[in-house]
């Protein structure tokens, strides 16, 4: 059996890994690197002794944990790819006269000292009220996660916050920034997410618990270590974009930059909108499901310009949200600065940052690289479409995989790739 896997992100790699040995797998990747959102970039900077050193730095996928990434942990163990402890601290900085028209705000949730890194927050009633609402929110969401009614969980977040009386400070200084950073979506857009998406994800990841939080980890040497370990044994084709997929009774014809080839089946492990564009004759259901999910474009800048970080060093965290001074800019994209030295062990003397959609100007001489990513938007339309994905699988020799079928994270992509490959193999065995 000849199978084409389109896309070398975690979903495509998982499908190809599962199929290897039972099918001849050809992996098509349009970009100049394998891995999709797993994108490790070599950076050369001085170490503590002033000596130049080169190290891989991740600009996309960064962290995982044993509780909610069991499949990925098992895969890394099987591949003998080492992980090390990471840090998932979170900070917020809001400009003066920004949200709520208040003075400039900075705080970091790591511990009591960093929460009050800006000392005047001790005397700021709105800030203290936000902390009280944060605790109330955690209790409410824990109860919902453990026994919430489906009707309540289907409610949009904005309505949920209104119904339970959560104020503007809680929304703009904590809740929406946190969710916007998790899903790489504008904070205003998060208000349209269903409660279920937020509650279940945050509960499973220990984000609404004070105790028993999972230990986050990162891949030693950069996440490309696992990508490299998965490629041997595959007919893996880099910089070979697929332009068109034509399906017929005997299989599929893949038209790529290297020509036309026939395969018995295809696994489309790309974003749903990309998959739809590739199909020469999509079915009505494929148009409805694949076309229902929107994507948020995000620009990632790898750099060393620390002026984008909170003014007080105590307010620095692994993840640092910065609110735009302009409301229109805030509504368009979320701004997040990853302090990579806190997330991954780096040998560099200076801080290395990845800024997602920076709202402050970054000195061009300090920019090490710029990259474009897209993230699925999990609104009610997307969740409805996800429920119909099983009906697409196997139709016209086509299977679908992608993190867009779940919560949008690495484990979702991995499991979707496994499911697609397993279903394809089962179908093939029945056919023969």
Confidence grade of residue 152 (pLDDT, cut at 50, 70, 90): low
Q: What is the pLDDT of residue 393?
A: 98
Q: What is the pLDDT of residue 422?
A: 98
d(CA 381, CA 118): 41
Q: What is the mean pLDDT of residues 55-82?
A: 96
Q: What is the mean pLDDT of residues 239-262?
A: 97
Angstrom CA distances, 291 to 23, 294, 336, 380, stand at 30, 8, 28, 14
| 54 DSSP 8-state letter | E
Q: Give the 3-state secondary structure of residue 387.
A: coil
d(CA 272, CA 75): 25
Q: What is the pLDDT of residue 103?
A: 73
Q: Give the 3-state secondary structure of residue 146.
A: helix
Residue 53 has pLDDT above 70, yes or no: yes
Q: What is the pLDDT of residue 212?
A: 64
Q: What is the mean pLDDT of residues 167-171?
A: 92
Q: Give the 3-state secondary structure of residue 8.
A: coil
Question: What is the CB neighbour count within 10 angstroms for residue 307?
Answer: 10
Confidence grade of residue 102 (pLDDT, cut at 50, 70, 90): low
Q: What is the pLDDT of residue 142?
A: 81
Backbone angles phi, psi at 289, to 5 degrees: -75, -55
d(CA 426, CA 432): 10
Instruction: Identify which of 61, 33, 135 has the alpha carbon closest to the alpha carbon of residue 344.
Output: 61
Residue 208 has pLDDT above 70, yes or no: no
Q: What is the pLDDT of residue 150?
A: 55
Confidence grade of residue 128 (pLDDT, cut at 50, 70, 90): very high
DSSP bridge pairs for 28: 6, 237
pTM of the complete model: 0.92
Q: What is the mean pLDDT of residues 222-230?
A: 98
Q: What is the pLDDT of residue 98?
A: 54
Q: What is the Cα gyration radius of the chain?
A: 22
Give the DSSP per-residue string, 314-358.
GG--SEEEE--SSHHHHHH---EEEEHHHHS---BSS--EEEES-
Residue 99 has pLDDT above 60, yes or no: no
The lowest-confidence range among 18-32, 323-337, 364-378 is 323-337
Residue 151 has pLDDT above 70, yes or no: no
Confidence grade of residue 1 (pLDDT, cut at 50, 70, 90): very high
Q: What is the pLDDT of residue 341?
A: 97
Q: What is the mean pLDDT of residues 324-332?
A: 80
Angstrom CA distances, 124 to 57, 117, 140, 386, stand at 39, 13, 25, 44
Q: What is the pLDDT of residue 110?
A: 81
Residue 211 has pLDDT above 60, yes or no: no
Residue with tokens 């000392």: 119
Residues contacting 179, CB < 8 A, separation 6+: 157, 185, 187, 190, 193, 198
Structure tokens at 144: 């919902």
DSSP bridge pairs for 251: 248
Give the DSSP per-residue string, 267-296.
EE-S-HHHHHHHBSS--HHHHHHHTS-EEE
Residue 100 has pLDDT above 80, yes or no: no
pLDDT in tens, 74-92: 999 999 999 999 998 999 9
Q: What is the mean pLDDT of residues 172-181?
A: 88
Residues contacting 249, CB < 8 A, separation 6+: none
Contact yes or no for 313/358 (Cβ under 8 A): no
Confidence grade of residue 101 (pLDDT, cut at 50, 70, 90): low
The lowest-confidence range among 180-189, 202-211, 266-275 is 202-211
Q: Among the CATH numbers 3.40.50.150, 3.50.50.60, 3.40.50.1100, 3.40.50.450, which is that of 2-46+58-82+222-292+380-431?
A: 3.50.50.60
Structure tokens at 262: 């026939």
Q: What is the mean pLDDT of residues 218-222?
A: 97
The rounded Cα 264 to chain-centroid distance in angstroms is 32
- What is the residue extent of each domain of the chain? 2-46+58-82+222-292+380-431, 85-217+306-361
Structure tokens at 323: 């609110």
pLDDT in tens, 340-389: 999 999 999 999 999 999 999 999 999 999 999 999 998 889 999 999 99
């Amino acid at each position: 059996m000849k199978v084409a896997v389109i896309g070398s992100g975690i979903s495509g790699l998982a499908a190809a890994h599962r199929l290897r040995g039972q099918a001849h797998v050809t992996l098509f990747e349009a970009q100049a690197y394998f891995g999709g959102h797993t994108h490790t970039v070599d950076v050369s900077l001085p170490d503590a002794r002033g000596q130049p050193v080169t190290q891989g730095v991740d600009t996309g996928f960064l962290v995982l944990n044993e509780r909610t990434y069991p499949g990925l942990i098992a895969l890394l163990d099987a591949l003998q790819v080492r992980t090390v402890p990471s840090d998932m601290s979170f900070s917020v900085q809001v400009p003066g006269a920004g949200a709520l028209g208040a003075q400039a705000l900075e705080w970091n949730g790591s511990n009591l000292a960093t929460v009050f890194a800006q000392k005047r927050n001790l005397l700021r009633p709105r800030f203290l009220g936000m902390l009280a609402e944060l605790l109330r929110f955690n209790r409410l969401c824990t109860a919902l996660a453990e026994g919430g009614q489906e009707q309540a969980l289907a409610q949009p977040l904005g309505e949920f916050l209104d119904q339970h009386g959560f104020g503007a400070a809680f929304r703009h200084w904590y809740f929406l920034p946190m969710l916007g950073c998790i899903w790489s979506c504008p904070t205003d857009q998060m208000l349209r997410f269903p409660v279920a998406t937020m509650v279940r994800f945050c509960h499973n990841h220990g984000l609404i618990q004070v105790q028993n939080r999972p230990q986050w980890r990162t891949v030693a040497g950069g996440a490309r270590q696992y990508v490299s370990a998965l490629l041997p044994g595959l007919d893996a084709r880099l910089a070979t974009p697929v332009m068109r997929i034509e399906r017929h009774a005997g299989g599929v014809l893949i038209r790529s930059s290297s020509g036309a080839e026939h395969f018995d089946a295809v696994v489309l492990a790309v974003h749903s909108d990309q998959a739809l564009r590739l199909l020469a004759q999509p079915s009505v259901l494929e148009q409805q499901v694949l076309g229902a999910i929107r994507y948020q474009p995000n620009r990632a800048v790898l750099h060393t310009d620390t002026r984008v970080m909170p003014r007080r060093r105590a307010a620095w965290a692994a993840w640092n949200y910065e609110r735009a001074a302009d409301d229109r800019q805030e509504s368009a994209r979320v701004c997040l600065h990853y302090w990579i030295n806190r997330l991954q062990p780096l040998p560099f003397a200076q801080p290395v940052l990845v800024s997602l959609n920076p709202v402050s100007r970054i000195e061009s001489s300090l920019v090490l690289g710029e990259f474009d990513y897209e993230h699925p938007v999990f609104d009610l339309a997307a969740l409805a479409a996800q429920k119909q994905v099983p009906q697409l699988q196997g139709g016209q020799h086509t299977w679908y995989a992608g993190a867009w079928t779940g919560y949008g994270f690495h484990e979702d992509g991995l499991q979707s790739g496994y499911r697609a490959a397993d279903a394809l193999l089962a179908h093939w065995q029945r056919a023969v």
